[in-house]
Amino acid sequence: PATIYRKDYTVPSYLVETVELGFDLDPDRTIVANRITMQHNPASPSRSIVLHGEELELVELRLNGRALAPTEYKIEGSVLTIPRAPAQVVLEIETLCTPVQNTSLSGLYVSNGSFYTQCEAEGFRRITYFPDRPDVMARYTVMLRADKARYPVLLSNGNLIESGELDDGRHYAKWEDPFKKPSYLFALVAARLVCQEEHYTLKSGREVLLQVWVEEGNLDKTDYAMQSLKNSIRWDEERFGLELDLDRFMIVAVGDFNMGAMENKGLNIFNTKFVLANPRVATDIDYAGIEAVVGHEYFHNWTGNRVTCRDWFQLSLKEGLTVFRDQEFSADMIGTDSGRAVTRIDQVRTLRQAQFPEDAGPMAHPVRPDSFVEINNFYTVTVYEKGAEVVRMYQTLLGRDGFRKGMDLYFARHDGQAVECDDFRAAMADANGRDLRQFERWYSQAGTPVVSARTRYDAVKRNFDIILSQRCPATAGQPDKLPFHIPVAVGLLDANGKDLPLLLEGGDHPKGATTVVLELTEQEQIFRFRNVDERPVPSILRDFSAPVVLEYDYTDDELLHLYRHDSDAVNRWEAGQRLAMERLLKLTAQVSAHGDAAALKLDSTFIEAQRALLVDEALDPAFRELALILPSETIIAEQMEVVDPQAIHTARQFMRRTIGAALKTELLAQYHANQTPGAYSPDALSAGKRALKNLCLSYLLVAPDAAQLQLAQQQFDHASNMTDRAAALVALIHSGSDAASYLDAFYQDFANEALVVDKWFAMQAAAPATNVAAVRKLMQHPAFTLKNPNRARSLIFNFTNGNPAQFHAADGSAYAFWAELVIELDAINPQVAARLARSMDRWRRYAPALQEKMKQALEQVAARSKLSNDVQEVVSKALA
Ligand code: BAL
Ligand code: ZN
């Protein structure tokens, strides 16, 4: 397959003004009539009309009223070219497609008997021939016709302008989108659905109609999505002055969906996972996910839809920015500093768990990639989460007000346009009179920068110097990197743990500031703080001010000091993680050397630090929970030269068991102190209490006695919400006791709730006792199917990515399983298959015996003759 390069971008030869689409919807044979008015783009030297189409049967192609003979156009692969076209063109195209056979879930497809679409990135070309590229923006009118009994609800983008009856029990609906949009934002739904709706008044006084559409039987699970939508609308008005531009905004939930959700103009289509919730079926994490994703898709209406991407290399222009916006929304919804810090810690954990490994692996790419084979492979944690970090750094450098000025200028300049990441950066720079040229490297250079800090204290002159240097590891195609522009937020703690007022030489921060942002732009720089009366403990990279690895030679005492006192909650948490990581790495090395956990020891210093934190009632329960979670097995693996997954698991379990035993009294006390009686509420404080309580339970259940087992069993039996019920079940599964009867009971209770059945598979997939044979057995369960992405991910991905000790079993049996599943899934849904293929990204970091077997599995997949571009790109990069 061909590689596509950013440098090869050319403007579209023709620009589209209007699109009129007519659909006669039938699962086996949908007829799509498409009338496009277009005109030659004066900026293009080409007079060829270029259209994209895939899996379509072309019935007729007319140009300015005349049917074209097959000799008058050319179809090569997925490109249809009409050479020597006139300047003004009306194209009429009739095609056929077969939605019921579309298992890729890209384009028009059938889920549970109804029609849905997914067009980003390149799904529209599976619906009709079209210049399917984001810089072609047009106005759409859509006529939907379908059987009324089977598809009573007919939806598309924009406003409903007409509807009525047709012959033979059919009906129609005509929709018009008043805004021009790229084809990837097109959507239709024809389904048997019901909705929760509400009239909502915008700040301006204008009234809009909000709807959340779901399958019958799910109307008791739409309240939180609706509330989140209203909160999102209000937040974007208040924080960014951005108003909903449509009279009607719809969310539709569908069970078969590749992504989390999709921001189609006025008609967001969502994975059910991010809409449906009530206390019985959804956990606190599910509720938080719904708020974030509803916000995310809504915020795209401005950052993505009104201003879109020139080409798919610019994907982070809308995704990084919109993730940042949804992160800020979620933090503002909690509304407290400690709540904000908790959301920030979660973001850091995601980066370390998924983005740093990606940035160090064979699929490493810049936030704005230079090339790709399959764009669907670039909906990554780098484009999304690192992209959001890059946007966050503007705010860190420019301040909230400066960032807002930049946003205002961005919309003033580019509303209605398809633009580049550079345009966003220029708006930020110009609105603030700042030179952000060097900042461009965050978009163009892959890899996680390492910031190395040294300090020196001059007691006579009362100077404290922080010497920062930076480097960035080589990545594929980028052996050498230039220095980044890195904001490093710093504070200094005195011996009592108090923040010192800072006086940075050459700095222009306010007097008395206790955190200042150092701007590291060179390979090495010295920052001098004056009037420092004693050697302080530096708190560096506060609030995780840049997506980097920070190296600093902290002593244990310094880390303990920060862990006790740092006013910056993120760095306070970070100090605990460093203390834990040092120990985990040592313990892992010991297990590797001796083969078991017999001789392991955990020092009381660490245990006492954890005890003190656990019982510190001044701290937010959610913060205490995060502080007590040890770095994950994946994050530990990233710190090792040669990864030994079993040793990591053994060492981490040893540490959890030791903490569980040593803090038993406090864990029990906190377990009881953090109950949330009364009606369930997903608010941050209640959710934090449940999180802490359930973390205590999990520690108590690592090596439980009868009383502790009973605690979990009782929680399972009497839980009034899914958070507590699922947590009890997970604790029981991980305890090593026989949890079969609880698993059965859980399944029986929720067999009709697809999202809960996903949880049931997921918790078993990640359980320490689940080996590949057990996964194969679960695949035989009547509720399992590879065709539903959520189900496939729940069992297969949670095993390959969430159960490293079993996935890396010494005999390589799980690697063979992985290869089998990648191949099987590829025939069904290449996007999902390619995600699974990524489980092998880090294969070169394992011991030679494992490496050899992983390589064989990769080669087995690569050798298949009928691979999708998606999977081929991933495995060939892994093997390169
Ligand atoms: N645009 C794809 C789904 C999302 O990021 O919202
Ligand atoms: Zn998005």
DSSP 408: H
- Name residues whose C-beta falls within 8 Å of residue 70's C-beta, 6 or more positions apart in sequence: none
Q: Cβ(267) to ligand 1 under 6 A?
A: no
The per-residue pLDDT for range 359-388, each reduced to its tens digit, is: 999 999 999 999 999 999 999 999 999 999
d(Cα 855, Cα 862) in Å, to the nearest integer?
10
As a whole number, mean pLDDT of residues 115-128 equals: 99
Q: Which two tokens stand for residue 414?
A: 């580019």
> What is the Cβ-side half-sphere exposure of residue 872, based on CA atoms within 13 angstroms?
14
Residue at a domain's end among 146, 166, 192: 192
Q: Rg of the chain over CA atoms, in angstroms? A: 28
As a whole number, mean pLDDT of residues 498-520 equals: 96
Q: Cβ(262) to ligand 1 under 6 A?
A: yes
Residue 520 pLDDT more than 90? yes
pLDDT-above-90 percentage for the chain: 99
Q: Is residue 71 included in any domain, yes or no?
A: yes
Residue 545 banded pLDDT, cuts 50, 70, 90:
very high
Residue 263 Cα to ligand 1 middle (Å): 6
* Ligand 1 pocket: which of 117, 118, 185, 259 to mutate (most atoms within 8 A of CB): 259
Residues in the chain: 880
Q: What is the pLDDT of residue 873?
A: 98
Q: Cβ(263) to ligand 1 under 6 A?
A: yes
The per-residue pLDDT for range 334-343, each reduced to its tens digit, is: 999 999 999 9
Residue 869 Cα to ligand 2 middle (Å): 23
Q: What is the pLDDT of residue 269?
A: 99
Query: What residue type is 464 in one-letter code?
Result: F
Q: Cβ(297) to ligand 1 under 6 A?
A: yes
The per-residue pLDDT for range 302-320, each reduced to its tens digit, is: 999 999 999 999 999 999 9
As a whole number, mean pLDDT of residues 165-175 equals: 98
Residue 596 banded pLDDT, cuts 50, 70, 90:
confident
CA 460 to chain centre: 50
Q: What is the pLDDT of residue 276?
A: 99
Three-state SS sequence of 550-587: EECCCCHHHHHHHHHHCCCHHHHHHHHHHHHHHHHHHH
Q: Cβ(358) to ligand 1 under 6 A?
A: no
d(Cα 315, Cα 636) in Å, to the nearest integer?
31
Atom of ligand 1 nearest to the CA of 300: 6
ipTM over 0.90: yes
Residue 595 banded pLDDT, cuts 50, 70, 90:
confident
Atom of ligand 1 nearest to the CA of 293: 6
Residue 45 has phi, psi (to 5 degrees) of -80, -10
The per-residue pLDDT for range 756-810, each reduced to its tens digit, is: 999 999 999 999 999 999 999 999 999 999 999 999 999 999 999 999 999 999 9
Query: What residue type is 221 in one-letter code?
Result: K
Residue 21 pLDDT more than 90? yes
Residue 471 Cα to ligand 2 middle (Å): 30
Residue at a domain's end among 505, 524, 548: 548
| Closest ligand to residue 120's CA | 1
Q: Whose CA is nearest to atom 5 of ligand 1?
A: 319
* Ligand 1 pocket: which of 268, 296, 303 to mutate (most atoms within 8 A of CB): 296
d(Cα 499, Cα 741) in Å, to the nearest integer?
53
CA geometry: angle 161, 164, 168, nearest 5 deg: 145
d(Cα 475, Cα 367) in Å, to the nearest integer?
13
pLDDT-above-70 percentage for the chain: 100
Q: Is residue 91 included in any domain, yes or no?
A: yes
**For the chain, what is the mean pLDDT?**
98
Residue at a domain's end among 548, 563, 594: 548
* Ligand 1 pocket: which of 186, 319, 381 to mutate (most atoms within 8 A of CB): 319
Q: Cβ(420) to ligand 1 under 6 A?
A: no
Q: Whose CA is nearest to atom 2 of ligand 1?
A: 262
Helices 754-765 & 772-779 angle (0-180, nearest 10):
160
d(Cα 829, Cα 817) in Å, to the nearest integer?
18
Q: Mark whether 297 is an active-site residue.
A: yes
| Total number of domains in the chain | 3
Q: Is residue 525 included in any domain, yes or no?
A: yes
- Name residues whose C-beta falls within 8 Å of residue 710's C-beta, 6 or more positions apart in sequence: none
Query: What residue type is 323 in one-letter code?
Result: V
Q: Is residue 188 included in any domain, yes or no?
A: yes
185: three-class secondary structure by DSSP: helix
As a whole number, mean pLDDT of residues 243-263 equals: 98
Q: Which domain holds residue 458?
A: 450-548
What is the CATH number for 127? 2.60.40.1730
Q: What is the pLDDT of residue 597?
A: 83
Give the alpha-carbon dihedral of 156, 162, 165, 166, to 10 degrees: -80
As a whole number, mean pLDDT of residues 163-187 equals: 98
| Closest ligand to residue 259's CA | 1
Task: Report whether 151 contacts 112 (CB < 8 A).
Answer: no
Q: Cβ(558) to ligand 1 under 6 A?
A: no
Q: Whose CA is nearest to atom 4 of ligand 1?
A: 262
CA geometry: angle 715, 721, 722, nearest 5 deg: 90
| Closest ligand to residue 324's CA | 2
The DSSP H or E segment spanning 444 is helix 441-444
The per-residue pLDDT for range 620-672, each reduced to its tens digit, is: 999 999 999 999 999 999 999 999 999 999 999 999 999 999 999 999 999 99
Q: What is the pLDDT of residue 234?
A: 98
As a whole number, mean pLDDT of residues 702-730 equals: 98
CA distances from 776 to 198, 303, 384, 780, 834 (A): 46, 43, 33, 7, 20
Q: Cβ(259) to ligand 1 under 6 A?
A: yes
d(Cα 686, Cα 540) in Å, to the nearest integer?
31
Q: Is residue 665 included in any domain, yes or no?
A: no
Query: What are the beta bridge partners of residue 153?
Result: 191
- Name residues whose C-beta falls within 8 Å of residue 102's C-beta, 6 or more positions apart in sequence: 55, 108, 109, 110, 126
Task: Report whether 616 contacts 559 (CB < 8 A).
Answer: no
Residue 821 pLDDT more than 90? yes
d(Cα 761, Cα 783) in Å, to the nearest integer?
9
Q: Cβ(325) to ligand 1 under 6 A?
A: no
Residue 580 has phi, psi (to 5 degrees) of -65, -45
Decide the pairing of beta strands 188-191 and 207-214: unpaired
Q: What is the pLDDT of residue 395?
A: 98
d(Cα 790, Cα 258) in Å, to the nearest integer?
8
For 544: left if phi > 0, alpha if psi spans -120 to 50, otherwise beta; the answer is left
Residue 827 Cα to ligand 1 middle (Å): 24
Tokens 């079940």 belong to residue: 729
Q: What is the pLDDT of residue 726?
A: 99
Among 201, 102, 114, smallest CA distance to 150 is for 114
| Closest ligand to residue 379's CA | 1
